[in-house]
Structure 1
Amino acid sequence: MIQRIQTVWLLLAAACTFLTMKFPFYYIGPNPDLASDQFNATTKIVLLILTAILGTLSLFTVFIFKQRKLQIWLTILALIISVGNILLYFNYKKDYAGGGLALTSVLAFIIPVFLFFAIQGIYRDQKLVRSMDRLR
Structure 2
Amino acid sequence: MLQRIQTVYLLIAAGVSAGLIYVFELWITSNDEKVFAADINYVFAAFLTSAFLSVVAIFRYKNRKSQFMLGRLNIILNFFLIGFFVYQSLNVSGETAVSEKGIGMLLPIVSIVFLALANKAIKKDEDLVKSVDRLR
TM-score normalised by the shorter chain: which range applies?
A: 0.7 to 0.9
Partner of 2:42: 46
Deviation for aligned residue 1:5: 1.0
Amino-acid identity (%): 30
CA distance in 1, matches of 2:84, 2:117: 23
CA distance in 1, matches of 2:108, 2:30: 21
Partner of 1:19: 19
SS in 2 for 1:122: helix
Q: CA RMSD in A?
A: 1.8
Range moving further from structure 2, 63-72 or 85-94: 85-94
TM-score, with length taken from structure 2: 0.85
Q: Is the 8 A contact 1:24 1:104 kept in 2?
A: yes
Total equivalences in the alignment? 131
Deviations 1:51-110 (A, max 9, x none): 111110111100110100001001100000011111112323445534222234433321
Long gaps (5+) in structure 2: none
TM-score, with length taken from structure 1: 0.85
SS in 1 for 2:56: helix
Long gaps (5+) in structure 1: 32-36
Partner of 1:120: 120
